[in-house]
Amino acid sequence: MNTQNLRIVSLIPSATEILAALGLTDAIVGRSHECDYPPEIKDRPVCTQARLNSNAPSARIHDDVNQLLQSALSIYQIKTEVLEQLQPTHILTQDQCDVCAVSLKDVEQAVASLTHSQPKIISLQPNVLADLWTDIERVADATGVESRRLVEDLESRINICKQKIQGLSVAELPTVACIEWTDPLMTAGNWTSELVTLAGGQPLFSAVGKPSVQMSWETLVATNPSAIVFMLCGFDLNRTRQEAMALTLRPEWQNLRAVHTGRVYITDGNSYFNRPGPRLVDSQEILAEILHPEIFEYGYKGIGWEPLEQVESATPPKVGSRQ
């Protein structure tokens, strides 16, 4: 396939990042409203929009999502008129989470209405890390580019980290609670437990390849993890700080072991942990840097993560407003 003839629309940020890593940035002619990396794709036409306000408090967002899903409405809308103008050869979407991005069903309906093009739909469905390698290969095969070197480089970075923690005893592997949402409290699922293990931790609450689960505050307190990592879905470092600070107001907060030992962390979940693209490997390195600073220093601190104790004395900002 001649890549010069490719006209690709990506409707999910992780797919956009896969395309860029494969050297196909110039072939991207349209994107979702959430696609923001790499920066050079931000000038591409936006093909989706959300039906909810992402600046609202977490509880309100959760309620709005449930109401839309119960009404059989998609959380996102496809701008079919933009797709018609772009005449794509390929559209990348996902069939993993209706809350994360446009659903496969919505994309199929939109494509059926097009009159000037019949693009090939590539739907990604990642649940574990190995699925990421498969998705990269599928995108590469569909677009006629090579993927072996990219996958090998990503796997090599994972293996380097694994080798460095091989000598650690079980006692040196902290128990880790990864928080994906704060109101209601939810733990991160799918690939997250795998990343924690690869980074030298013992994941709590979520099983590898299984969706995120809701958890009671009492369960978190009773389990008393060695480390707590906030990786809130769709939120950057600043918004995550706001949400995490709201939890510090609970009276049980000060009794948590992770708080006493200064092992509570905030991360940029939107850029890293929530996106099953190449930066999942960055996410694993972030966790390694957090859990074992005596071994790892990748340079993500202040960019991808921060310890929460740096801001514990500050007045918590109003939840739901971006800084």
Give pLDDT tens digits for 227-260.
999 999 999 999 999 999 999 999 899 999 999 9
Token digits for 205? Answer: 């609450």
pLDDT band at 64 (very low <50, low <70, confident <90, very high): low
pLDDT confidence of residue 109: 87
Name the CATH architecture for the domain at 151-311. Answer: 3-Layer(aba) Sandwich (3.40)
pLDDT in tens, 67-105: 655 654 466 789 999 999 999 999 999 886 655 667 788
DSSP 115-127: SS--PEEEEE---
Handedness of CA 274, 136, 32, 66 (dihedral sign): negative
Mean pLDDT (the chain, rounded): 89
Whether the Cβ atoms of residue 94 and residue 246 lie closer than 8 Å to each other? no
Contact present, 217 and 152 (Cβ < 8 Å):
no
Judge whether residue 316 has pLDDT over 70. Answer: no
As a whole-number percent, the residues of the chain with pLDDT over 90 amount to 73
pLDDT at 268: 98
CATH 3.40.50.1980 is held by the domain 3-146: yes
- How much is the pLDDT for 152? 98
Mean pLDDT check: name the lowest of 43-57, 105-119, 147-161: 43-57
Ordered by start, the domain boundaries in the chain are 3-146, 151-311
* DSSP E strand boundaries for 140-277: 175-182, 185-187, 202-203, 213-214, 227-230, 264-267
Task: Give yes or no on whether 3-146 and 151-311 have one common fold.
Answer: yes
Q: What is the pLDDT of residue 218?
A: 94
Q: Is pLDDT above 90 for 128? A: yes
* The pLDDT value given to residue 103: 76
Confidence check: pLDDT of 224 > 80? yes
Structure tokens given for 7: 């006209």
